[in-house]
Amino acid sequence: MKLFRLLTLAASLTAALSNTQAKDTTARLMLKSDGPADIQVIGNSDNAKLIDPQAKAITVEVPANANQWSTGSIKFKVSADTDLRLRLSSNYTKTEEKWVFIDNVKGEGVQVENPDFESAGANGPNGWKFLQNGKGKAVLLQDDKAAASGQGFVKVSHTAPVVQVIHVPKDTEVTLSFSAKAASAK
């Protein structure tokens, strides 16, 4: 009986530690305009938090849980035809590098190339570019049991994001959504 209680306590502590590590982890979708176009936010999903919106850059943050995928979205339009940089990453923290899985990047009113990270070349997922500003490196993964959709997904951090340039026509309402899940650093 004591062994059963110890095993139960150990399992509870492990689950609590896992939830604590993922508790402050969020996934970010950032849009940035380098041209003359301003970005106007029309709305976002209930679980998506808008972070310091500006005319040329917007960021939306979605909680990332280690146990299940969550989906967030943002709706916007631009003041002129433009190319926007779509950047997917985790949140920034001073103490540790947070990692998230990203999948199922959908666009309404705009085309997102390879939204499920299904096709890949020698340099990673087609249509996407891995950036690296820190110690870690973004990774393309293939696992139909672990992916939110299909079998491909990426593991990214704040300093190791994945980026794609998307073309957005003037005054077109665009909705971008994505699925995220907390990942371990390993």
Q: What is the pLDDT of residue 11?
A: 38
Residue 160 is assigned to a structural domain of this protein: yes
Q: What is the pLDDT of residue 101?
A: 98
- Show the low-confidence residues of the chain (pLDDT under 70): 1-23, 185-186
Cβ pair 166, 83 in contact under 8 A: yes
Rounded Cα distance between 161 and 138, Å, is: 6
Q: What is the pLDDT of residue 3?
A: 39
Residue 45 is assigned to a structural domain of this protein: yes
Give how many domains the chain has, as a whole number. 1
Question: 131, exposed or middle or buried, with CB in 10 Å at 0-12, 13-18, 19+?
Answer: middle
Q: What is the pLDDT of residue 159?
A: 93
Q: What is the pLDDT of residue 186?
A: 63
Q: What is the pLDDT of residue 20?
A: 42
How many other C-beta atoms are found inside a 10 Å radius of the C-beta of residue 73? 19
Domain span holding position 143: 25-183
Residue 18 is assigned to a structural domain of this protein: no
Residue 11 is assigned to a structural domain of this protein: no
CATH code: domain of residue 85? 2.60.120
Q: What is the pLDDT of residue 22?
A: 54
Q: What is the pLDDT of residue 88?
A: 98
Residue 38 is assigned to a structural domain of this protein: yes
Residue 19 is assigned to a structural domain of this protein: no
Residue 16 is assigned to a structural domain of this protein: no
Cβ pair 37, 79 in contact under 8 A: yes
